[in-house]
Structure 1
């Protein structure tokens, strides 16, 4: 199977965490969140290298973490932009052109290798793919506090990361988005913006993004459960 490079944006401050610092440094099971995420790719034989996008003020602190936890695959520490989209774009520009690139949130530490590999295969054959899960809840369309419609959830998916692309195509899509002022919350939307298809790879519900203090509790529970399963 084709190998990949992963761009991990980790420059944001995570304001919803209310931690007074970059949430990437918050610990779960006594290990920083960012290290949990990086270890997933450090241990994946298909991962060629990691491009880590960081706040320039935190570059030295991140470099120390990489050394302390023996993370070897981070080939580049790239200066992040004001928004996530800009950070990913900077990471893409820092890569060698060609091959499959994944974009993954630094705050999603529970992605599984088997799902990553399905994603890489799909991107290799179809061009662009994202991990997603089926929506379980009933979804209401609401205006001014009033329910206007119940949305058919059978066609709704909650999108996660990683998302996988051909590097040259994603880089060109980002260039076009920058020129035309298109803003997106994920990279799949940027590919959609230029008119290319994006395919779904079904993920699992443990692949949560650590965003709020409550998520830390859920994350600790996932870690505990996985330790029990491993014996």
Structure 2
């Protein structure tokens, strides 16, 4: 057991250092939905955790929070930010969540944690509702079997030692990935899939804010 790591505790890692370029509203952590910032939504959703670590854009003043919340400067990429948070985490298990997903369904979190404790790594996912094709230089390409594909969400859950090993392997090999489950899979470990929830969509484009405002008006955690 690593010194400082508490076997059965849960650390939530929030890589929130993105500048929100596609959204065009400044640092994504400070974008407001339903009268609260995206960071507020995440901190409230994971208030039950043993600790919450947040990576913010360098130079951004951290808001005042309770003792269980720690802020660190983020890296140039999401992957760098997660690694920084991971090395500072004290939980035996970690949940990595994108603050751009403000609507966290606790039942999904519970499924992720249960699967991570059982198999070492887990991610929530939802079915693809539309026809899935390849884009062939702006033309309609071959259709793919959407029943074999999933849309991956967060939070993703891991035994901390497994995710740390995957990140250190990626750093040594120069491997980049868009989420943490890809790194764990690349190292050769299986990642369990559990049922996600469509309400846990990611706010990426301005039109996503319209959907988020509508859901925020009726949201009950």
CA–CA separation in structure 2 for the residues paired with 1:150 and 1:162: 29
TM-score by length of 1: 0.88
Runs (5+) with no aligned partner, structure 2:
1-7
The answer to whether residue 197 in structure 2 is matched with residue 197 in structure 1 is no
Residue 11 of structure 2: which of 5, 9, 18 is its match?
5
The aligned counterpart of 1:51 is 53
Report what 1:32 is aligned to: 37
Partner of residue 41, structure 1 = 46
* 1:91 and 2:97 matched: no
3-state SS of paired residue (2:63): helix
CA contact (8 A) 1:103 1:162 kept: yes
Greater helix percent: which structure? 1
The CA deviation at 1:7 is: 0.5
- 1:214 corresponds in structure 2 to 207
Secondary structure, counterpart of 1:38 in structure 2: helix
Give 1:213 shift.
1.4
Does residue 208 of structure 2 align to residue 225 of structure 1? no
8 Å Cα contact 2:16-2:28 kept in structure 1: no
Shift of 1:101: 0.5
Select which of 15, 18, 43 maps to 2:21.
15
Q: Report the Cα offset of residue 56 of structure 1.
A: 2.0
Q: Does 1:63 align with 2:68?
A: no
State the SS of the aligned residue for 1:175: helix
Give secondary structure in 2 for the equivalent of 1:53: strand
Note if 1:147 corresponds to 2:140: yes
SS of the aligned residue for 1:56 comes to coil
TM-score using structure 2 length = 0.92
For the residue of structure 2 that corresponds to 1:57, the secondary structure is coil
- 1:73 corresponds to which residue? 68
1:125-184 CA distance string (max 9 Å, x none): 011100111111000112112223110001110001000001011001100100100000
Distance 1:103 1:8 in 2: 6
How far apart, in 1, do the equivalents of 2:36 and 2:161 lie? 35
Report the secondary structure of 2:72's partner residue: strand
Question: Which contiguous aligned blocks of 4+ residues in structure 1 show a shift greater than 3 angstroms?
Answer: none
Alignment check: 8 A CA contact 1:127 1:165 kept? yes
Match of 1:100 in 2: 93
Partner SS for 2:100: coil
1-structure distance, mates of 2:63, 2:96: 20
For the residues of structure 2 that align with 1:148 and 1:31, how far apart are their CA atoms?
41
Aligned-partner SS, 2:154: strand
